[in-house]
Every structure is written in C-alpha cells, then in structure tokens.
Structure 1
Amino acid sequence: MQKLVLVLIFLLPVFAFGEQLGQPHEWQLGFQQSASPVMDYINDFHNLMLIIMVCIAATVNALLLYTVIRFNKKRNPSPSKTSHNTLLEIVWTVIPVLIVLGISVPSLKVLKYEEHIPDAEMTVKVVGHQWYWTYNYPDHNEITFDSNLKYDLDEGEPRLLAVDNNLVLPIDTTVRIQITSDDVIHSWAVPSLGIKKDAVPGRLNETWVRIDKEGTYYGQCSELCGILHGFMPIAVTAVSKEAFKEWVTQAKDSF
C-alpha cells in the first residue's frame, strides 16, 4: 500500500497537467493534447508504431538472449562452422520487408490526410522573417499584423512562447494556411494542431487546420534560421465563431 501511495505521488504532476492545452508541461510523457483532426491521425499512427516497435525490440532482444544462453562457450566447446542457412536468410529478409510494407499503409494514409486540403472556409497567410511572423487575413479586409516574442509576460503566460499578437482563428472552421518567407527558410510548427510546414522564400506552401477546442496553442519556428531562431514563437488563439467576428471588427481598426 505504501508503495502504491509513493507511485501515485510521483505521477500526480502528470495527472495535474494532463488537461493543459497547447503547450509543453512538466512531466510530459507524450505528445501535447490534440486539438485538431490531423493531430488525432498523427496520435493514432504514433500509438500503432509504438506497439510495433516494442514487439520488434522484444523479439530481437529475446533472440539475442537465447543466442547468448544457448550458444555460449560452456555449452558449445566445439563451435559450429555453419556458413549459411538459406531458409533462415529468406525468413529474416521477408519478415522485415512485410513489416515495412505493413507500416507504409497507415503512414501513407496519414500523409494523404495531411496534404489533402478540404474546401476551406477561410484563408490565412503566414510570412516568416528574421525573427518574427507576419499574419494576413485576405478574406477579412486584408487584416495584417506582426507577431513578436513577448518579453514582459502576464501571469500564466509561458516564457519564450508568448507573443504580442496572437493569430486568432475560429473553432470548427476549416482554415487554409499559406506559408512563405521573405529572407531565409523558417518552419511554422504548432504541435497541438499537428502542423509543421516550412516557410521557403519564393515559394508558397499550404496546409490546413480545423481546431476542435477553444484555447491558445503555442509553437515555435522549427528550422534553424539564425542567431535568434529560439526567440521566434507562435501563438494561435482559437475562439468561437461569434467571438472571431467580434475580433475581426476590432482588428480592422487596430491593424
């Protein structure tokens, strides 16, 4: 009983932060909590791969242990001089090939789902700079603003992740995100939303998102882009459709 209590005390931080949205936290054991269908797909694929990898690792280690015990020097004073075994070589070639082919099917399904952009209800353009982001809403009066790292934090805001102007998006809305850069290669990444897309100068990359839950989701530039690469955070605030309309009205006057 005492051991159980100690284990529960050790795991308490995991449960305490388990529902925290949109940012990493202490004692985190896996991905951030999903807030989009794409991230749900990624989570499912990750969990499947974890099971497969554990099975492979367990099998390989069991074979190694068997080999060490069965064919050690004491049990085999005269070692075998076998040069090959055709059947065994076929088996250890065919089985890995079948495993890789089996893994490729769900992997390609995830990639197809990520890359196929459904009919979007709105578009947002993201431009990377050294070392900040510019957001543009072409469907909403060309609202445009810069988003920089916030140094003077309010209570509860995460260090090196909070920004002065968040990208605001409505929930339950399919949003096309167009990403580019005006200097070097950056990468716009928000883990909770399952997004990581390179911002390449002279090229317009596209991705999409449909956010399920209201909240603020944090990310960072994920492509080494210069001396202040680590000071280029991303913050996406998801609000209700009604709140988004109100924000658009205010943003037209503010930006």
Structure 2
Amino acid sequence: MLTVDYDRLAVGMGTKVIDVGAGAGRHSYEAYRRGADVIAFDMDAEGLAEVDTLLQAMGEAGEAPASAKAQVVVGDALALPYPDGEFDVVIASEILEHIPSDDTAIAELIRVLKPGGKLAVTVPRWLPEKICWLLSDEYHANEGGHIRIYKADELRDKLVRGGLEFTHSHHAHALHSPFWWLKCAVGVEKPNHPAVKAYHQLLVWDMMSRPAVTRLAESALNPLVGKSVALYFEKPFTNVAPQ
C-alpha cells in the first residue's frame, strides 16, 4: 500500500533514494523494484532485519533490475549519516508525526537532498486524525505514538522555509479512515472485534485484488476523507539558506 507517487518523483534506474523511517519497507520495495539504489533507513533494527530479508529475496527472485542496489541502515532521522546533497529522492512517509524535534528532522531531510532533487513527505491528514484522537486516547497516547496533528499548509510552510519549492499535494487511503475510526470507537487493542475484523478483511481484499469499484470509490473519497496527505517538493539549484 503506497502513499507516495513514484512517477511524480521520477524514481527509476539508478535513482539514489533514501526512505527515512522505512518501517516495514513498503516504499523501499517499490523504489528497488523500479531500479533505484535505495536505502531503507530506520531506528528499528529488528524491523529492518525483516526488510533486508525481503529485499534480498526480491533481488534473488529477479523482482528488481540486476543493476539496482538496496540496503538497510539503522540510525536516527535527527542525524542522518550522509553528506549534504547525497540523494536524488528523499521519502519520509508517516514519520514526522512521531518525532518531537520535527524541525530538526525536516532540516536533515532537506540537507541530504541534492539540488534539483525531490522530496516526498506524508503525514496523517488533519480531519481524519483529529477524529481518531477524539475517539480514543489509546490511538496516540502511547510510547512512539503520534504526538501532533499537522495541518497540511503548516507542514508545507515548514519545508518551504527550509529552502524547498512546493510542487504538489494529494490525499490517499480514504477507505482506511473509517477503519481507524471504527478501531478507535471499539478500542484499538481489540483487533478481533467482529466489525473490525470484517473491515480489515475488506481492506486486505482491496489491496490484493484492487477491484475497480473500490479504486473508484477511494479516488472519489480521497479529497474528502483521505487518511494521509502527501506533499511534494523540489530543492532549487540556487538554494539559499533561510536567515
């Protein structure tokens, strides 16, 4: 389930990509599949070990071009261990809402992006996220949970002040918003609740089969209740550090 539009990022053969806060690796897998040289970067060593296993399996199965490279790196998004301008594409999907020092993380994302490169940032959208917070403290008040709710224009302005040019935005995963509202309403620690299980089965079927009816429904609903907002930026060649 991808949140980022890879065609908009022009990810292809030889593109140097870092997926910061890679999590379970979904965006790293797609970049590798398209022939990019990708780094899946996260602070969760155990989770990254699983990502590495799958990346290696993809390579052995020929699911990525032979020239593509993929590796996992354990580290802190507040101090990326790379020189300035190292990457063609930087992806930070659903991580900034977890990080107390988000301005520091944003500065690092911008620093390692090369002039002319593209950055994609996704976070939970304000309205669906606000409803989740109102329905359940368990949803966000836990270790490593969401610590803030972004308004898209406020987050956009943070990155523009950092020297980037805003290019596009879209919403995604509208069908997931009611699922999370339902989970919050019945209790996020009750995955076996009949209604939650039934909706989860629907989402799995949708992700695996991608039927036209649900694709059309989600496309129509994304502008209204899309669970995530994706923001796209480019780093100018004449980037001047803000005063």
The reply to whether TM is greater than 0.5 is no
**TM-score normalised to the size of structure 2?**
0.26
| Structure exhibiting the larger radius of gyration computed from Cα positions | 1
**TM-score normalised to the size of structure 1?**
0.25
